[in-house]
Amino acid sequence: MKRISIHVRGKVQGVFYRASTVTKAQQLGVNGFVRNEPDGSVYMEAEGNEDKLNELIAWCRVGPPRARVDEVAVETHTTFRGFTDFRVSR
């Protein structure tokens, strides 16, 4: 098990990025949250199997069809938050 945070910049708001992330994370069995940031970026935290988290990171680099991803920053954390599902956080 591993916990990461991902910060995605580009045209990632108003293009169903959060909803698509929830769908992808649920397919992968990853728990956490995703939210829009005031600066127009998207931030998420996720916990799960390292291979599944790597798949989520790879997906984030592309995003849904209408997104344009310019940058994906990933940080690994040493503590866990114990997420029980993956959802949009407001």
Active-site option among 35, 36, 54, 87 = 36
How far, in Å, CA of 45 to CA of 3, rounded? Answer: 7
Burial 22-42 (b: 16+ CB within 10 A, else e): bebbeebebbbbbebeeeebb
Active-site option among 18, 49, 61, 90 = 18
Is residue 2 a contact partner of residue 79, using CB atoms and an 8 Å limit? no
Residue 18 is a catalytic residue? yes
Residue 68 is a catalytic residue? no
Cite the active site residues: 18, 36
